[in-house]
Amino acid sequence: MLRALLIYLSKATWARRIVTGWRFARRSASRFIAGDTFDEALEKIQSLNEEGLFATLDHLGENVTNTEEAHKAAKEYIEILDRMEEVGIKSNVSLKLTQLGLELDFDLCFDSMKRIASRAAEYGIMVRMDIEDSPTVDRTILMFQKLREVGVTNVGMAFQSYLYRSEADLKVVLPQGAHIRLCKGAYNEPPDVAFPRKADVDANFDKLTALIIDSALADGAEPADPNGKVPPVTAIGTHDEKRIAYAKRYAEQVNFPQRALEFQMLLGIRSDLQKALVKMGYPVRIYVPFGTEWYPYFVRRLAERPANLWFFLSNFFRG
């Protein structure tokens, strides 16, 4: 109930207007967001790299409402890629298709994806498409497939274990060479689309983990790129220790190489676990968001864990 309300608020323009005006809200968000600028994100990534962690850089933004904003977002991603290459960090990029105008015009978004992916390919970087709410899933898969048709091979995508359809979708895109980030899913979906019970989302997560590992193993289980620019086919995006333990156990059982099994987590969450996995020898990648459009991302993080709301309110009382 609280989760559904928060996810509704994450999309409400009126709530965004109010909350982004509160200084304490920005301060609370800073736990999950590297800063407003690329330079702040860069500093964060450099310190993660020093600790043996890779990054995936996300310039915050989603659901743009006009083509100018969509063009601007694409241009900014290309500039970000240039800066990343200049400074040499162990990172790839993640983006949202609705930030590039998916809801306005598929072809406009496709064009931008081609340009971004082509610049990323010059630098040997893989671009990850985040997965958004269920009405965008068909078009995200179509985007992946159309990019492949025109020879773009450095674009991967994320999948959500809460969706009933994900297993069937993975069986289509894995043989097409998709690199996958598996996550549970952060939106509010109706019960005809997504498992309503957390136990089922978790069980499906493990099932899909095994499916992705099996497929990657059959294809030679390419390890993570040591420069951090290309995640392997199998990236497990969760902070849930039971899901992580299952992935490790299953991988060992089928002799899946450790460096082909990447764990991914969000900035500001379970940094102890991130470091422990690095110590064990797994590739670990941290999702590092930056930018001024932090509101929806932040409210989804609150929705995931009600305890975060108390942290948010304590910042309010501190003024």
Backbone angles phi, psi at 261, to 5 degrees: -115, 105
Sequence-distant contacts of 299-305: CB under 8 A, at least 24 apart? 299/6, 299/7, 299/9, 299/10, 299/15, 299/19, 300/6, 300/7, 300/10, 300/186, 300/187, 301/32, 301/266, 301/268, 301/269, 302/6, 303/2, 303/3, 303/6, 303/7, 303/10, 303/186, 304/3, 304/186
Beta carbons of 83 and 43 less than 8 angstroms apart: no
In the complex, minimum distance from the CB of residue 36 to ligand FDA, in angstroms, rounded to a whole number: 21
Residue selected from 185, 232, 283, 289 as contacting ligand FDA according to rule CB under 6 A: 185
Nearest-CA neighbor of 188 among 62, 285, 296, 49? 296
Binding ligand FDA (rule: CB under 6 A), the pick from 134, 154, 160, 274 is 160
In the three-class reduction of DSSP (H, G, I as helix; E, B as strand; rest coil), residue 156 is classed as strand
Residue 181 is a catalytic residue: yes
Asked if residue 130 binds ligand FDA (CB under 6 A), the reply is: yes
Site string for ligand FDA, 256-275 (x = CB under 6 A): --------xxx--xx-----
Q: Which is nearer to ligand FDA, 101 or 268 (CB)?
A: 268
Return the DSSP state at 147: H
- Beta-strand ranges (E) seen in the chain are 54-59, 91-95, 127-129, 155-160, 180-183, 234-237, 261-266, 284-290
Least distance to ligand FDA, CB of residue 68, Å: 25
**Pairwise CA distance, residues 134 & 187, whole Å:** 8
Among 70, 131, 251, 261, binds ligand FDA (CB under 6 A): 131
Tell me which of 130, 169, 202, 225 is the catalytic residue: 130
The residue within the footprint of ligand FDA, chosen from 40, 69, 167, 304 (CB under 6 A), is 304
Residues 67, 30 contacting (CB under 8 angstroms): no
Q: Which is nearer to ligand FDA, 204 or 238 (CB)?
A: 238
Judge whether 165 counts as a catalytic residue: no
Annotated catalytic residue within 26, 128, 139, 181: 181
Q: How many residues interact with ligand FDA (rule CB under 6 A)?
A: 24
Q: Which amino acid is at 88?
A: G
Q: Which stretch binds ligand FDA (CB under 6 A): 9-17, 74-82, 223-231, 301-309?
A: 301-309
Q: Can residue 308 be called a binding residue for ligand FDA (CB under 6 A)?
A: yes
Question: What contacts 119, CB < 8 A, 6 or more positions away?
Answer: 78, 81, 82
239 binds ligand FDA, rule: CB under 6 A: yes
* By CB under 6 A, residue 301 contacts ligand FDA: yes
Say how far apart CA 198 and CA 81 lie, in whole Å: 37
144 binds ligand FDA (CB under 6 A): no
CB of residue 137 vs ligand FDA: minimum separation in angstroms?
10
Nearer to ligand FDA by C-beta: 38 or 312? Answer: 312
Q: Are 109 and 68 in contact (CB under 8 A)?
A: no
Q: Which is nearer to ligand FDA, 220 or 306 (CB)?
A: 306
* Sites of contact with ligand FDA (CB under 6 A): 130-131, 158, 160, 181, 183-187, 237-240, 264-266, 269-270, 287, 301, 304-305, 308
Residues taking part in catalysis: 130, 181
